[in-house]
Structure 1
Amino acid sequence: MNTQPIPNTDRPVVGSYSTYAEAQRAVDFLSDEKFPVERTAIIGSDLKMVETVLGRLTKGRAALAGAGSGAWFGLLMGLLLTLFTRNHGAVPSLLVGGIVIGAVFGAVFGFIAHAVTGGRRDFASRSQIVAARYDVVTDPEVAEDAKNRLIKLSWREG
């Protein structure tokens, strides 16, 4: 159960920015100015989901990605096993063995997972949510103060 209260988004806008980094910089500036930033929020508007295609996903690439993931998992398992060994000379072989076994199983599972899709998703991609605009809002009682301080920021950067 989510116990977080829903933030009030119907507050005065004290600054609008085209990138999230600019909105963050404005809130950071307010923080540096000792403004009560716990009374602010950054609200993204006109959201879009952007999926950037990184390249074609072949069975070989799927196996290679699976091998990479499996190697990390194998390293973790090897590290855990070293906690329970009394023979410190066995530590390197436990780590290498974990990496190798993890990579092999990961490659096999990656290959099989891609093969069973039947070519329905033959590409790798990265998804992100972006907004057309980022508004910095504050509680009404401190909005005028925030606007005045952000004017100093725009003069300093302009």
Structure 2
Amino acid sequence: MATSSPRSLIANYVPVAAYDSYLEAQKAVDRLSDERFPVQETAIVGTGLKLMEKVLGRMTYLRATGLGALSGAWFGLLVGLFFALFATRVSVFALIVWGLIWGAIAGAVFGLISHMFSGGQRDFVATSQVIADRYEVLVAPTHAERARELLQIRPT
């Protein structure tokens, strides 16, 4: 199965407006939608992409254990809920609580061991996001003129 490149996907669209923020581009498409424009013929494309990673703090043994416990607790809760769906002779509440507890314990152990074996690589916690310099609203060529007219009616 052949996959299309991102460039070939947007080749069938023409730009009708450009904005400094994604929110402005989203509002423009929402305005088109409010005017009954066929928004399925629309795309928002970010240009000048950058990856930004915001460092939140150091990854310590305590933090690794705590984060592991949290993610394990969620998984344990889901397992407990799943077993509770099919339980007939056991307390549903007990299954959920035990799943939560054992998930937290297993997650804490896994988080601690994973951090110990990381060898000091990536000893920090961070979130990442892709940001763009500009956001273009693209439309199929057959609808471009109408989109330009609608976006000029009420400025953002």
TM-score by length of 2: 0.90
Contact 1:39/1:138, CA 8 A, preserved across alignment: yes
Q: Are positions 1:146 and 2:147 aligned together? A: yes
Contact 1:26/1:153, CA 8 A, preserved across alignment: no
Which residue of 16, 31, 34 corresponds with 1:32? 34
The separation in 2 between residues aligned to 1:91 and 1:125, in whole angstroms, is 37
Distance 1:9 1:19, change over 3 A: farther
Q: Counterpart of 2:80 in structure 1: which amino acid?
A: G
Contact 2:12/2:141, CA 8 A, preserved across alignment: no
Hey, what does 1:43 align to over in structure 2? Answer: 45
Instruction: Report the number of matched residues.
Output: 154
The separation in 2 between residues aligned to 1:140 and 1:82, in whole angstroms, is 54
Hey, what does 1:104 align to over in structure 2? Answer: 105
Structure 2 unaligned residues grouped into runs of 5+ = none
| TM-fit CA distance, 1:34 | 1.1
What SS does structure 1 have at the residue aligned with 2:87? coil
After TM superposition, list the pairs within 5 Å mapping 1:115-154 onto structure 2. 115-154=116-155
Hey, what does 1:85 align to over in structure 2? Answer: 87
The separation in 2 between residues aligned to 1:80 and 1:35, in whole angstroms, is 44
Hey, what does 2:74 align to over in structure 1? Answer: 72
| TM-fit CA distance, 1:143 | 1.5
Structure 1 unaligned residues grouped into runs of 5+ = none
TM-score by length of 1: 0.89
Hey, what does 1:23 align to over in structure 2? Answer: 25
The separation in 2 between residues aligned to 1:35 and 1:51, in whole angstroms, is 37
RMSD of aligned residue pairs (Cα, Å): 1.8
The percentage of counterpart residues that share the same residue type is 49
Could you list the per-position Cα deviations for residues 56-85 of structure 1 after superposition, in whole angstroms to 9, with x for gaps in the alignment?
111110110000011111111111221232
